[in-house]
Structure 1
Amino acid sequence: MEALKIKGGTPLQGKLKAQGAKNATNKLLVASLLSDKPCRFYNVPNIGEIEITVAMCQEIGMQVSWDREAKVMEVVTKELTTSYIPQRFSGANRIPILMIGALLGRTDQDIIVPVTGGDCIGKRPVDFHLDALRKLGANIEFREMKRLGAYFAQAHSGLKGTVITLPYPSVMATENTILASVTARGVTEIKNAAMEPEIVDLILFLQKLGAHITLDVDRTIRIQGTRRFYEVEHHIIPDRIEVASWGMAAIASKGRIFIEDAKHSDMITFLNKMREVGGGFSVHSNGIEFFYDGPLQGGLHLETDVHPGFMTDWQQPFVVLLTQAMGSSVVHETVYENRFGYTEVLKEMGADITQFRQCLGGKQCRFASQSFPHSIIVKGPTALNAKEIAVPDLRAGFAYIMAALIAEGTSTILGLPYLDRGYENLVEKLIDLGADAERVELDDRPEEIVYPQASRPIAALTVSA
């Protein structure tokens, strides 16, 4: 198996270009299944997560051409060859459940998708998805299948627009409902919808495709159903999680990194917290520069929330940053109930972190009456020591990368497929930025997790100048 060795103590210096957003690209590929028209995507990240979604889409008839170096992908699904997503994709990522919304308007056959997966950071209930789709007229049930189970869905009588109020502004439930509503008869209103930049990007793509969609400031999305579609060219937004990750790595390592194409408007809440903790940044017309600007100051309160709040995926590396800040800080996780498991490793490395089951924040969250440790207090600054680390999930994985960069000694990080899912050319970027890092082979270790691959080769796309 492969591992990443990092010797701490070297400031990161240099520049890099922000990759396309993982959480946008996956949804756009699924959205393209709504029509039989060609779609051309630019700024496509060459990461494992996109490989998985492409393989899933190919299973049901999508033709894919991908120029990985140019970051351009052309897709077209002229006809569905099947509406069954094989069980080998069960647990690979969260995308299978999103297929239901897209395919309900494309076929009157039974749609069969495996159970969802992704990182082990807490439950990702699909009740919000299923309830919304049923209100639109879909019939959905869960059946045991090959020990894992699958969702069976169909809308033989078609979908009909209605008013849907989501109990929580879930990102994927919003996206699933939008996709199903595009081809529903009449008008659909989605209230208490998520409004993340990736959702806005999806809406912009769907408008190009032919959908009629409007946004209101009260978290309401209205969709007028249509069956007329067009060819689309679409540039994927930069990945705000990757931008924040590298920005925090620059500051934690006492370095300086310029991130080209970082989008200021998507980073406002994050940048506010960076300024509060004393991290340096400078916004330019073509990106954002992050730099160490003197000792970091703790004593702040951080609460994750849906957009425009502080992203839950920014939380883990920010906690590593807080271990280097003077004073005590509170972090309250309100999005996922099991997202502080990674802090045990940080404590073993020397961090002073205490978990609490109570809501240590300005508001009570939906986990208030439950027994999940979803708040922490971080005291700093503390010196960190190198350690062998097994990555449990994608975002915790980058937090461990940051911890290794500032630790005394050489750390060994296992579980690289998790990181490869979301960070493009991670090791190469670390080396280019000056980190003392190398990817090595550990022959005496068991194989790491292997994600489903495409059932057929992905055609190389020749892009004209």
Structure 2
Amino acid sequence: MTNTEIAAQDHAEGLKQDARKAGARVGLTSDEIIINGGRPLTGRIEVRGAKNLATKAMVAALLGQTPSVLRNVPNISDVRVVAGLLALHGVLITRGEDPGEWRLDPSNVERAHHADIDAHAGSSRIPILFCGPLLHRLGEAFIPDLGGCRIGDRPIDFHLDALRKFGAIVEKLPSGISLSAPNGLTGANIELPYPSVGATEQVLLTSVLAEGQTELRNAAIEPEIIDLICILQKMGAIITVEPNRVIFIEGVKELRGYDHAAIFDRNEAASWAAAALATKGDVFVGGAQQEEMMTFLNVFRKVGGDFDVHDDGIRFWHPGGALKPVTIETDVHPGFMTDWQQPLVVALTQAEGVSTIHETVYENRFGFTDALNEMGANIVVYKDGLADEARRVKRREFEQAAVITGPTPLTGSDIEVPDLRGGFSHLIAALTASGQTKVTNLGIISRGYENFIEKLRLLGADFVFEG
């Protein structure tokens, strides 16, 4: 066996292990499902708090001197990972009477063994956001080898460079990265080379207790970032959001706990909307809000989908007739989210004409299209991107493009889930296709989609568990 074959085998086994662990954390009884497709999804489901806010808000609780209460927390694997890491560091976590309510008491924060952090973190990248809070509380932090979804390199240089500017000492070890702050942390002037969500969160979580003022330029301004700022302000932080992606943070001596309901998960809401469109269905997504989804709603309408906005959610449906091709450029907020393109691609395989998606945020995010092509789709991926004079988003290094020609009927196949968003897209394809589709590595989807199996039942999907 060649080194390449060994690496591929290790990668596949790693995916299976990730899926089993993720599914087990939320009680998923099987890692394989057989879907009988071709039936419209109809009914109502609810979305709770955003994965990209809830996990970061849990980390923020480390900064408080009193307990925090986080409500609307989704029952997903990534939340369980963060809860385990917090418990390793001495945070007492209890569940409230209301579903989705967590109480986090950081009164007895303590050091954790590197091996335990590594074991509990698994493939999650969340440990890197523990650095600022732990440097403030303990004077040291540790980052194990980072995993996460295999959608391309996500270098942590932005994080490490920012932490160094605050005064952290970074040491690379065989097992990961060790950080220390023997002289404490001080405010810094930081300009991100790219408005990275993770790096912006890192700066916010580190700067609020750093001595002096921090100026962050080219910051991410996603709704989840603003919600995190709201949480930190509730805790006693002084944060000013200026125009042109500039954020000022005045360090304070002490923070208290918070009481906060997490913003809804707009990624999950868009995924169910795309599923309704692809299957010619009608799905009411309870908890979804218009303001945070305006960019997605515009594209959904251009493709030919329809929606109604209600106080308690948004109804998405296929109104009949042919779907229309579109050109999409993914971008940071307020642009079209990279996490939205994958589920929408499935619907675009049913549009009449040629659609183009320019992926400018992550490289290698079109790997999931291989399975769609095996099911009958006509998708060509251009690994170096495509030139387009009409583009609004500046071309970026490593960007790719996908050209989808439709409509193409999809037929059942065997699919192995590669990552979180691509995995849900595979579910949508299986629900759209005629015949049976076997989906494996199902547990990876539970990292970001709460109770998705029960929601499929509620929407009338026809499936059985395998194994």
The question of a shared fold, defined as TM-score above 0.5 by the shorter chain, is answered with: yes
Q: Is the 8 A contact 1:35 1:106 kept in 2?
A: no
Q: Unpaired runs of 5+ in structure 1?
A: 442-465
Write the deviation string for residues 110-132 of structure 1: whole angstroms up to 9, x where unpaired.
Answer: 32221222100010100011111
Matching residue of 2:245? 219
Question: Is contact 1:2-1:416 (8 Å) kept?
Answer: yes
Question: Aligned equivalents of 2:269 and 2:121: distance in 1?
Answer: 30
d(CA) in 2 for partners of 1:227, 1:143: 32
Q: Which moved more, 1:411-420 or 1:344-353?
A: 411-420
Q: C-alpha displacement at 1:39, in angstroms?
A: 0.6
1:300 and 1:329 in contact (8 A); partners too: yes
Are the counterparts in 2 of residues 28 and 205 from structure 1 also a CA contact under 8 Å? yes
**Greater per-residue helix proportion:** 2
Deviation at 1:422, TM superposition (A): 1.1
The answer as to 2:156 corresponding to 1:126 is yes
Matches within 5 A, 1:224-373: 224-360=250-386, 361=388, 362=391, 363-367=393-397, 370=398
In 1, Cα distance between equivalents of 2:322 and 2:177: 49
Deviant stretches of 4+, over 4 Å? none
2:169 corresponds to 1:139: yes
Q: Distance in 2 between matches of 1:297 and 1:435?
A: 22
Asked if 1:113 is matched to 2:143, the reply is: yes
> Is residue 298–residue 380 contact of structure 1 (8 Å, CA) maintained in 2?
no
Q: Is the 8 A contact 1:15 1:433 kept in 2?
A: yes
The CA deviation at 1:84 is 4.5
Aligned to 1:81: 110
- Residue identity in the other structure for 1:111: A
CA contact (8 A) 2:378 2:404 kept: yes
Residues 159, 185 of structure 1: 8 Å contact kept: yes
> Is the alpha carbon distance of 1:12 and 1:68 closer, same or farther for their aligned partners in structure 2, counting shifts above 3 Å?
farther
Which residue of structure 2 aligns with residue 397 of structure 1?
Answer: 423
> Using the alignment, how far apart are the partners of 1:87 and 1:129 within structure 2?
19
433, 436, 451: which one aligns with 1:410: 436
Q: Identical aligned pairs, as a percentage? A: 45
CA positional deviation for 1:92:
2.1
Q: TM-score normalized by structure 1?
A: 0.90
Matched, 1:438 2:464: yes
Pick which of 79-88 and 330-339 moved more: 79-88
Closer, same or farther in 2 for the Cα pair 1:297/1:432, shift >3 Å? closer
CA contact (8 A) 1:111 1:152 kept: yes
Of residues 130, 153, 171 in structure 1, which corresponds to 2:197?
171
Q: 1:208: which partner in 2? A: 234
Q: Any idea what SS the aligned residue of 2:160 has?
A: helix
Offset, 1:105? 1.4
C-alpha separation between the residues in 2 aligned to 1:98 and 1:230?
A: 19
- Which range moved further: 30-39 or 167-176? 30-39
Secondary structure of the equivalent of 2:49? coil
Structure 2: unaligned runs, 5 residues or longer: 1-29
Counterpart of 2:123, as a letter, is A
CA distance in 2, matches of 1:210, 1:439: 48
- Mapped partners of 2:122, 2:451: distance in 1: 24
Q: Does 1:102 align with 2:128?
A: no
- The partner residue of 1:23 within 40, 46, 52 is 52
Contact 2:64–2:257 (CA<8 Å) still a contact in 1? no
Give the Cα separation in 2 of the matches to 1:317 and 1:69.
Answer: 31
Aligned amino acid, residue 31 of structure 2: E
Distance 2:257 2:202 in 1: 22
Q: Match of 2:37?
A: 8
